[in-house]
Structure 1
Amino acid sequence: MSIKIIKMPHLGESVTEASIALWLVSEGDKIDKYDPVAEAVSDKVTTEIPSNYSGIVKEFLIDLDTDVEIGTPMLSIETDDAEEAGESEQPFGAESPSAIEKKEEMTDHINKEIDEAAEKKPIERDTKASIQQSVSAESEPMADKKARYSPAVVRIAQERDIDLKQVEGSGKHGRITRKDVLNFDVKSQTAANGDLHKGSLQVQKEMIEREMSKKTETPSEQAASYTTVGDEVVPADRIRKAIARKMVQSTSEIPHAWLMVEADVSNIVKLRNKTKDRFKELEGITLSYFPFFVKAVVQALKKHPIINASWDNGNIVFHKDINISVAVATEEHLFVPVIQHTDHYSLSGLSREIDRLASLARDGKLGNQDTQGGTMTLNNTGSFGSVQSMGIINHPQAAILQVESITKRFVPTEDGGFKAADMINLCLSIDHRMIDGLQAGRFLNDVKENLQKFSDESDLY
């Protein structure tokens, strides 16, 4: 038997932390390789994490709803050595064995050079020893505090049930090398070391808890100065914190500019009223107005690629793909899934894809592939009655378009009279570092013209 560790996997680009929202197994459960063991929440995505091993669930190493860094040990599995021999040693989201091997060899080489340098420079030896002792005390739970073990040595010792205090080191000053551990006879250890893994895991868990305590969470302390007796202070959940960070990043890094145009969408209203019943019968979903706006924006983006670009440290990145992010609101949060290659869809295809993404968002089942790569955002603020708003740009994008409510208004006609029309406001926020008012105005006017080109005979397919 041996103990294997499942770590918090990489859950998406720019994701550095995540938390466990739900354990799908209990301690003591027997599981097979690839069985889901937990639901992890990363910013705006909930993802099931599979096991890399078959065995018995030994211990949960982190608490629910606690943010931890990617790569943090989260679960221990007791495996059968016979079964383990045929299984991959590479964890979900981890580096390849060859890459790890190279890093370990490099670590040993660096440690050797450090020793040699210390011999040549006696004055610096005390400083070096102090640093090594500090690192050992924090990151090597199996080691005596006076010993110095490389991460490779510790990892192999943990995997092979080896007590490093019983290993004779062949390196300089008695340092234990990888070869020493690999050549060590496990059977020669005393029975007293049978509980080594259990102790190691306990220390590892304590280390994680200690690290988490270093991440001082100040919202409650800060909130105290703004509260009075009887107020309720509720900690924000993982998703709300992610949204907050994103909004602060956008408003602090992006100089926003805003403009608005109004468009006559009477023809779209007629087309939808004419086709919605048949569409519902054929597709099983409701035909909304939103796909028409997405289509009009995509057509305009092809003429104005600067709107489909991003600012990157003094460079402007023009994206070859048009991937529209669509805002989806739930009772508690706002999600922004992405329609990949939006320009490849017909109106009916857009309707189906928007419905699919909205359903996943409301059910909390969006995957990483559903939220990555957006190049511009559309927000259907009109769905809750808004007639004018200023959106915050979805960093690192360059623009967000707020589609407001359709309202009946009297508009002038060419013969000097008036007529009732279905009108809508289109509100655009832009990154003023790269987009000027002239470019934004031309883009908005093209969106307006594209909307007004629809007729009650336009094809949905």
Structure 2
Amino acid sequence: MASVKMPQLGESITEGTISKWLKKPGDQVKKYEGLVEIITDKVNAEVPAPLSGVLKEIKVKEGATVTVGTEIAVIEETAAATPSAPKSQPAPQAATPQPATPIAAPAPAEESAIEGQGGGSTEGRTRLSPAVRALIEEHRISDAELSRIEGSGIGGRISKKDVEDYVAKRAQPAAANGEQRQQAPAAPATAPAPTPGTTVPLSPMRRAIAANMLKSKQTIPHAWTVAEVDMTNVVRFRQKVKDSFKEREGIDLTYVPIIVKAVVEGLKAVPILNASWSDQGVVLHKDINVGVAVSVDDGLIVPVIHLADRMSIAGLAKATDDLAKRARAGKLGIPDVQGATFTVNNPGTFGTILSYSIIAPPQAGILAMDAIVKRPVVVEGDAIAVRSMMNLCLSFDHRVLDGVSAARFLQGVRRWLEGFSEQVPLY
């Protein structure tokens, strides 16, 4: 017997919620085959079986939240998975039952994009488990074919059964009239609008977000500082290059990557903010990895731009666009949501003018960017001019740094943005 335990699906994650069991007691399971879907506040993941055998018992029911290391299931290795005794030997006497050997369910491997034969486009790439990848290679499924498989897993993820069903259909003879049949895509499920006077059940993601935010407020002494920024030069620059940028790159140039670039410059100047608190001391991070908050159907998820300090504005724009699209499609992997050393939030998308955000542990800060609004402003020579203004609010961990350092960071970000010109390289 082997005990399957709740894996740690990323740093700082201490618990997970069982979303869906992909097997039931008595089912045969193969090593690396999808066993259970788990939800955390950062990612949804299909966790594979750690060994081949029979699923004997499910210890944690769907919808339950347990801490990392908790036993969630028991798998009994089958005879095929263990060496058999020579036929000439007598059957051994029944041995005293041994306690189950604990085996942590392996966290999903860093899922590489599978490129189809014949140079498939990046849009046709799909994130797959090791078992699914092996099955695809075995049946020589091209990238074009892969794009036609409807995934039944979390976020439309393709499971082993999806591939097996596709292979079975592919083997069937064509219709007598020669027409190629295509399955009509299912209409997207729409969550019913909440009814006043009722209680809306908590989804696993909402419950996980609530626990994380409560932990942050209870353990981190939050402090805030706000700066008013003249974004006129940035607005003019974006207006001038946005059409050519979209034609060249295929994506919109938003204000977010420009703000992230300013944040990177600010963190270089004030490295104490690119840090984490510990009982042993303040840990200064070597790399600058910026999390960018993305609104999804059931809350907020924060994918991470790793090594943001090594990217141009164009590189940050492409990274931000890619992460946001995959976040909303439910296709983020574990590496996409771990390792952030600072976060940028953009409530200004919804027209807010002054917001402060809750810090995501173990980070020391988060910056909220509000809406850019045209206002009359007193400029040089006491003249009054209409300028594009934006408020930036920094939330910071007062254990890690004091208000002076926080103000230095925010004023550095402000000066970089206000001094923006066409000489700032886009690439």
TM-score exceeds 0.5: yes
Is this contact kept in 2: 1:43–1:242, CA < 8 A? yes
Q: Matches of 1:290 and 1:318 in 2, distance apart?
A: 25
Counterpart CA distance in 2 for 1:85 and 1:419 is 83
C-alpha distance after superposition, 1:24-77 (max 9, x if no partner):
345565543212222111332211111233345555443111113333443444
Moved over 6 A (4+): none
Corresponding position of 1:37: 35
The one-letter code sitting in structure 1 at the alignment partner of 2:240 is K
The answer as to 2:374 corresponding to 1:408 is yes
Q: What is aligned with 1:83? A: 81
- Point out the structure with the larger helix share: 1
The counterpart of 1:63, out of the listed 49, 53, 61, is 61
- For residue 232 of structure 2, what is the aligned residue in structure 1? 266
Map of 1:257-296 to 2, 5 A cutoff? 257-296=223-262
- Following the alignment from structure 2 to structure 1, what is the Cα–Cα distance between the partners of residues 282 and 363? 11
Q: Which whole-Å CA distance do the structure 1 matches of 2:301 and 2:368 have between them?
A: 15
Alignment match of 2:282 (pick from 295, 316, 334): 316
Match for 1:188: what amino acid?
Answer: Q
5+ residue gaps, structure 1:
87-159, 161-184, 202-229
- Matched residue, 2:13: 15
3-state SS of 1:188 partner:
coil
2:345 is the alignment partner of 1:440: no
- Asked whether the 8 Å contact 2:11–2:339 carries over to 1, the reply is no
Contact persistence 1:250–1:395 (CA under 8 A):
yes
Q: 1:62 to 1:248 in 2, by over 3 A?
A: closer
Counterpart secondary structure, 2:32:
coil
Residue 416 of structure 1, CA deviation: 2.9
TM-score, length basis structure 2? 0.69
1:247 equivalenced with 2:213 (yes/no): yes
Q: Cα deviation per residue 1:215-265 (whole Å; 9 max; x = unaligned)? A: xxxxxxxxxxxxxxx943344232222222222222222222222111111
Cα 1:248–1:9 change in 2 (3 A) is closer
Alignment of 1:12-411 (within 5 A): 12-26=10-24, 29-77=27-75, 79-85=77-83, 187-189=92-94, 231-313=197-279, 315-411=281-377
Contact 1:383 1:404 in 2 (8 A): yes
Amino acid at match of 2:92: K
* Alignment-derived partner of residue 394 in structure 2: 428
CA distance 1:413–1:234, change in 2 (3 Å): closer
1:231–1:33 distance in 2 versus 1, CA, 3 Å: same
Q: Which one-letter code corresponds to 1:189 in the other structure? A: A
Deviation, structure 1 residue 410: 1.7
Residues 407 and 32 of structure 1, relative CA distance in 2, 3 Å threshold: same
In structure 1, C-alpha distance between the alignment counterparts of 2:406 and 2:274, rounded to whole Å: 11
Q: Secondary structure at the match of 1:357?
A: helix
Q: CA deviation at 1:365?
A: 3.3
Q: What's the C-alpha RMSD, in Å, of the aligned pairs?
A: 2.9
| SS of equivalent to 1:410 | strand
8 Å CA contact 1:337–1:357 kept in 2: the answer is: yes
Contact 2:340/2:363 (8 A) holds in 1: yes
Assess, with a 3 A threshold, how the Cα gap between structure 1 residues 53 and 246 changes in structure 2: closer, same or farther.
closer
Q: 1:31 to 1:346 in 2, by over 3 A?
A: same
In the alignment, the residues of structure 1 paired with residue 13 and residue 91 of structure 2 have an alpha-carbon distance, to the nearest angstrom, of: 40
Paired with 1:311 and 1:430, the residues of 2 have a C-alpha distance of 11
Contact 1:24 1:38 in 2 (8 A): yes
Larger Rg: 1
Output one character per residue of 1:126-184: Cα deviation in whole Å (capped at 9) or x when no partner: xxxxxxxxxxxxxxxxxxxxxxxxxxxxxxxxxx9xxxxxxxxxxxxxxxxxxxxxxxx
Q: What's 1:120 paired with?
A: none
What fraction of aligned residue pairs are identical, expressed as a percent?
45
| Cα displacement string for residues 285-332 of structure 1 (whole angstroms, at most 9, x for unaligned residues) | 221110000001101111111221222226222222211121112232
CA separation of 1:275 and 1:74: change in aligned 2, threshold 3 A: same
1:402 offset after TM fit, Å?
0.8
